[in-house]
Amino acid sequence: MSDELTPATLATALLASVGALLRRARQTRVEGELTMPERAALSLLDRAGPTTSAALARQEQITAQAMGATLGGLQARGLIERSPDPQDGRRVVLALTDAGRQALKDKRSARTELLALALADGFTPGELEQLAAAAPLLDRLAQRI
């Protein structure tokens, strides 16, 4: 490792570049696509399974009112469903529908397509090989944090 390339300088460069890539991928929207709060709520339901609106709001660290507005839109589009909590009939449990799972899958596919288009436009075969070699290393780095 050269004198100029230290773990600290590399960490700074990686955080800046990977952070910029993720921000751009998340900010780019396709017409009719999920908003960031909608995607976050669906992803939480996908990972954790059925839960309450209050639990989702706590996990996202937003108000119950903000989460309620997001969930109302998702329910209107048929992406989530509400049912009585089997343990406490006064509470409502939210669950992902098949359409909600498909919307998440489509979003992931749209991001992949966006990235593929960017790679195809302006990167040399050598640069693509470098990025391909870096991908497993970035994954390994993520596992160690």
* pLDDT value, residue 32: 63
* pLDDT value, residue 7: 93
The answer to whether position 11 is within a domain reads no
Cα-based distances in Å from 13 to 5, 10, 111, 118, 133: 10, 5, 23, 21, 17
Per-block mean pLDDT, blocks of 10 residues, the chain (145 long): 82 94 79 80 93 94 94 95 89 95 86 88 94 94 89
The answer to whether position 14 is within a domain reads no
CATH no. for residue 136?
Answer: 1.10.10.10
The answer to whether position 17 is within a domain reads no
* pLDDT value, residue 112: 84
**Structural domain total, the chain:** 1
The answer to whether position 32 is within a domain reads yes
Cβ distance 119 to 131 under 8 Å?
Answer: yes
84: three-class secondary structure by DSSP: strand
Strand partners for 94: 51, 82
Give pTM, 2 decimals. 0.63
Range of the domain at 91: 27-144
The answer to whether position 71 is within a domain reads yes
